[in-house]
Structure 1
Amino acid sequence: MIDWLHMPSLAALRAFEAAAREGSFTRAAAALNVTHAAIAQHVRGLEAELGRTLVVRDGRGIAATEDGKVLAEALTQGFETIGAGIARLRADDAARPLTISVTPAFATNWLMPRVGDFWARHPEIQINISPAIELTDLRRDGIDVAVRYGRGPWPPYDAKLLTDGEFWIVARPDLLDGLQAECVEDVAGLPWLVDRNLREWKALLSEVRVDIDDLKVTSLNLNGLVLSALKEGLGVSLQARTLVERDVREGSLQRICVLRQEGLGYHVLTDPQRPSARTKTFVRWIMDQVRTDRRDEPAKREKGAWRRP
C-alpha cells in the first residue's frame, strides 16, 4: 500500500523524470511547458526530501546518478502505465455512442430534421438521442450533452444559450379562416392549446396585457402533444420560435405575432468534469445550426414565407 503522506509531490516527480529523460533542465522545461527555474527547483527540492543526489552536471546538460537512474526508471514505467490506462479509457469512450438528452418536443421538431447534417459531417461519431422531460445527473446517467428549456443557471453544468427568448403565437392557416390576425387580441376568441408551463405562459402574455384565464384553454401534459394538436388545427398556441419556425417557413403554420423574454430559451448543457473532443464537436455543430438559421432569415422573408409580427 502506498504511503501517500510521505510521497513526494507529483509535480516534483514529473519534473525529475523529464529532466533525467531529456538530460537537460531546459529541454525538460520545454516538454512540460514550464520554466527552467521551475524544473531546477523541483529537482533540488526532491533531492533534499530524499536525501540523495539524483543528477549531476554533464557538460551543458545533466546526467542521472545511480540513485537517480533507479528512480527515473521507476517513474518512467509508472507514467507509461498511467498513460496506457488513460488511452484505453479514451478509446472506450470514443467507441461508445455520444449520448444526447433532449426534450421530446425539441427532438421531434428541431433536432431530428437537422441531425442528418451532423451524421454527414461527422460519420465517425455515433450518437444516441435520448428524449426526456426532466434533467437528470449527466455524469451518473452517462449523458454527454443535454438540451433543456428554461432560464438557468444550470449548476454544476456549463450552459450555453442556444436560442433567444423569442416566442411566436401560431396557428394552422385554415383555423384562422382568412382572419387578418396580427396580435393576441385578434385570436383571443379561438381555442388555445397550452402545456404544463402555465406560469411562463402567464408571464409572457402579461407583457401584452392578456390574462390567460380569459382565454378558452385546453391544457395538455406535454408540449409535444400541444404541437401535434396545433398542427391538426385544434387551436392557437404560444411556442418557442425554435420549435415552429420550420413549419411557418413551409406554410403549415402561420405566425400571428411575436413575444420576447430575454434569457428564456433552450440551453446546451455539458459536464465540465467530462470534457471530450466529441462533445465539443457536437456543441459547435448545434450552435452553428442555429446561427445558420438566423443568417438565412432575410432571404426567407423575401420569399414571402414570413408574416410581419
Structure 2
Amino acid sequence: MPTPSDAVFNLPPLKAIQAFEQTARFGNVARAAEQLNLTPSAVSHQLANLEALIGRQLFLRNARGVTLTPVGEQYLAEISGILHSFAVATERASSDVSLDCLRLHASPSFGFMWLMPRIESFRQSHPDIQINLSCSYESLHFSRDKIDVDIRHGQPNWPTLEVRSVRNEHLAVMASPALLARRPVHEAADLLGSPLILSEATLINWPQWFAMHGLSRPDSPYSLSFDRSYMSMEAARLGLGFALESTLLARAFIERGELVVVEPQRLSVPISAHHLVFPKAHAGFPRVKRFLEWMKTELGGDFSY
C-alpha cells in the first residue's frame, strides 16, 4: 500500500506538465520552449523526465516536430484544465474571495447580439459571480488564456472537450420591410437579381444556399460583404440588401420589426452553428454549472445539456 510520501513522489513536476501541454499544443518543442521562455533542450529534458516517470512514450518524434502517442492523447485529455485550475485558484486567493470570476470567450456576433443583452439577467440571478467576456474568432487555449467556457461558431468537432450545442437555429433570408415591399420575394429564384449581402462567417453562404434550391450563383457581384454577422444584419436593417443570417442572432431585429424573415418555411435552413465548449474538468466548477443552468433556462429546449 503506498504511503503519503510515495503519492507525493509520483506527482510529476509542474514544469514537466507545462512542457508537455505546450509541446502537445504546438506539436513542436521549439515553439513550446519559446512560449515557456525556456531553451528547447530544457523542454526536451522535462519531457524525457515525464516519460521516464510515467514509464510510457508520450510523443513520437519526426523531422517536422512531434505528435502524441495514444497514451499521450489520453494523458493530455485527463490533465486538461489542471493548469487553468491552478491559475484560477491563485487569482482567487489574491483577490476578493466573495467574488468568483466566470471567464467567457465567444464568437463576436453571438457575444455582441445574443449574450450581451442578457448578461444583466445572469448578473441579477448570480450577483456573487463576476463576468469577464472576450470576443473573437480566434481559438483560444483554455489554460493559457484563462477561459472557463468558449462559445464557438462552426462544426462541433472537438472530441477531447465537452460540447453543449444550441439547437433549432436556422439560417434565413431576411430584409428590411421597406426593401421587401419594393422587391417582394416568393421563391428562391426571385433573389437572383436582388441586392445580396454576403456574410462570410456563416456556415452556409449564398452560393451553397442557391445550390440547395437548384439554382446557380448569381452573375452579379454581391452589393456588400462582411466578416461579422452583426454587420451584415445592420446593413440589411438599413435596407442595403438581403442577408442570409441566423434567426437566433437576429431575434431582436425581428421582434422589433426591423427585419423580416422571407418565406421562413421554404427558404430557411436548419443549422447547428453555436456551441458551448470547455474541458471536462471545468464541468465541476460551480460557476460553470450555474452558467450552463442559466443558458438552459434562457434557451429552453433549444440547448443540448
Same fold (TM over 0.5): yes
- Residue 115 (structure 2) aligns with: 111
Structure 1 segment 75-224 matched on structure 2, within 5 A = 91-92=92-93, 95=99, 97-197=101-201, 200-201=204-205, 202-214=207-219, 216-217=221-222, 218-224=224-230
Offset, 1:120: 1.1
Q: Give CA-to-partner distance per residue, 1:105-146, whole Å, 9 cap, x none.
A: 112211112222111111111101111112211222111111
Offset, 1:6: 8.4
SS at match of 1:7: helix
CA distance in 1, matches of 2:209, 2:246: 11
Structure 1 segment 1-309 matched on structure 2, within 5 A = 7=6, 91-92=92-93, 95=99, 97-197=101-201, 200-201=204-205, 202-214=207-219, 216-217=221-222, 218-258=224-264, 259-262=268-271, 264-275=272-283, 276-291=285-300
Give the TM-score normalised by the residue count of structure 2.
Answer: 0.62
CA distance in 2, matches of 1:165, 1:235: 22
Contact 1:171 1:233 in 2 (8 A): yes
Change (3 A) 1:220 1:87: closer
CA distance in 1, matches of 2:171, 2:202: 14
Change (3 A) 1:215 1:199: farther
Change (3 A) 1:168 1:272: same
CA distance in 1, matches of 2:254, 2:135: 24
Match of 2:128, as an amino acid?
E
Q: Give CA-to-partner distance per residue, 1:204-237, whole Å, 9 cap, x none.
A: 3322223334454122233232222122221111
Contact 1:194 1:223 in 2 (8 A): no
Structure 2 portions without partners, runs of 5+: 10-85
Change (3 A) 1:261 1:132: same
Match of 1:130, as an amino acid?
S
Contact 1:192 1:236 in 2 (8 A): yes
Change (3 A) 1:199 1:86: closer
Q: What is the percent sequence identity of the aligned residues? A: 23
Contact 1:101 1:147 in 2 (8 A): yes
Offset, 1:96: 5.0
Identify which range, 205-214 or 100-109, moves more after superposition: 205-214
Q: Alignment RMSD, CA only? A: 3.3
Count residues in correspondence. 217
Give the TM-score normalised by the residue count of structure 1.
Answer: 0.61
CA distance in 1, matches of 2:88, 2:246: 42
Change (3 A) 1:226 1:176: same
Contact 1:139 1:271 in 2 (8 A): no
CA distance in 2, matches of 1:139, 1:113: 28
CA distance in 1, matches of 2:194, 2:124: 43
- Residue 55 (structure 1) aligns with: none
Change (3 A) 1:140 1:260: same
SS at match of 1:108: helix
Offset, 1:178: 4.9
SS at match of 2:134: strand
Q: Give CA-to-partner distance per residue, 1:69-97, whole Å, 9 cap, x none.
A: xxxxxxxxxxxxxxxx9996595497452
Change (3 A) 1:155 1:122: same
Change (3 A) 1:148 1:8: closer
Match of 2:246, as an amino acid?
A
Structure number with bigger Rg: 1
- Residue 58 (structure 1) aligns with: none
